[in-house]
């Protein structure tokens, strides 16, 4: 195996995932994955620029960062690229008024968004709010639109918590796609635009990042 210096030749920045890489979420704030706090600290001390990328859509960035800091991570809200703020920017740019099928923990991210007379649906990892009634309400909104728009904050199948594996937003997104005969617009990983925005935030080109 090549020395670390050779492997990082030409690299100016690092994009780090959070859930399942730095920590496992769960009751009591979750737990840091062994060695992750120290690894982030070492990267911060290096010449590399660091950006955190997450599909977390049950918590606001402020809540997520507060949780990570309590676990010992050196991280600030301004260093995190998350799907909810990115979705809000898209909604404003396109004049979209969403019906929100989201977790209460991330609702504050949409406080400045007009949700009257919805002309699209935004779906995220809503957890216990993924009831039949709420899914059907989102379905009805989409079916009443001439050009239905479904925006999904990520499309993961499942993720890991300290209590075990949990269904993510992807299966519910797919249900609405199938029922309405449409394709969702994904904001978050693995969307190329999501990673581009993270790289732009640290002023690094794709070929210069790991």
> Residue 50 is part of which domain span?
12-82+191-208
Quick one: 67 and 111 in the same domain?
no
Q: Note whether residue 150 is domain-resident.
A: yes
- Say if residues 162 and 27 touch (Cβ distance below 8 Å): yes
Q: What is the CATH number of the domain that holds 120?
A: 3.40.50.1000
Same domain as 100, residue 20: no
Q: Which residues contact 49 (CB under 8 A, 6 or more apart)?
A: 12, 13, 14, 202, 203, 204
- Cα 148 to Cα 137, 176, 199, distances in angstroms: 14, 11, 31
The confidence score (pLDDT) of residue 163 equals: 87
pLDDT attached to residue 1: 47
**Residue 36 domain-assigned (yes or no):** yes
* Cross-strand partners of 52: 16, 80
pLDDT, tens digit (0-9, with 9 covering 90-100), for 69-123: 999 999 999 999 999 999 999 999 999 999 999 999 999 999 999 999 999 999 9
Find out whether the peptide bond into 70 is cis, omega within 30 degrees of 0: no
- Whether residues 89 and 129 fall in one domain: yes
- 55 and 112 both lie in a single domain: no
Residue 202 and residue 165 share a domain: no
The rounded Cα 163 to chain-centroid distance in angstroms is 21
What pLDDT sits at residue 29? Answer: 79
* pLDDT band with cut points at 50, 70 and 90 for residue 27: confident
- Helix, strand, coil shares, percent, the chain, to 5: 40, 20, 40
Report the domain count for the chain. 2
**Quick one: pLDDT at residue 132?**
98
pLDDT bucket at 3, cuts 50 / 70 / 90: low
Gap between the Cα atoms of 58 and 107, Å rounded: 9
Per residue in 141-197, pLDDT (tens digit) is: 999 999 999 999 999 999 888 889 999 999 999 999 999 999 999 999 888 999 999
Residues 35, 46 within the same domain? yes
Question: Are 32 and 26 a contacting pair, CB within 8 Å?
Answer: no
């Amino acid at each position: 195996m090549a020395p670390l210096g050779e492997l990082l030749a030409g690299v100016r920045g690092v994009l780090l995932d959070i859930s399942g890489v730095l920590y496992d979420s769960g009751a009591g704030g979750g737990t840091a994955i062994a060695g992750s706090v120290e690894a982030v600290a070492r990267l911060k001390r290096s010449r590399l620029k660091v950006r955190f990328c997450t599909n977390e859509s049950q918590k606001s960035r402020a809540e997520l960062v507060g949780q990570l800091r309590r676990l010992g991570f050196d991280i600030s809200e301004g260093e995190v690229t998350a799907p909810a703020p990115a979705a809000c920017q898209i909604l404003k740019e396109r004049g979209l008024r969403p019906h929100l099928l989201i977790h209460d923990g991330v609702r504050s991210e949409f406080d400045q968004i007009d949700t009257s007379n919805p002309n699209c649906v935004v779906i995220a990892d809503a957890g216990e709010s993924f009831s039949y009634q709420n899914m059907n309400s989102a379905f009805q909104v989409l079916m009443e639109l001439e050009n239905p728009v479904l925006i999904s904050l990520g499309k993961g199948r499942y993720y890991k918590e300290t209590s075990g594996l949990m269904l993510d937003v992807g299966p519910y997104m797919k249900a609405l796609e199938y029922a309405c005969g449409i394709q969702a617009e994904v904001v978050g990983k693995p969307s190329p635009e999501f990673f581009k925005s993270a790289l732009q935030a640290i002023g690094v080109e794709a070929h210069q990042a790991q």
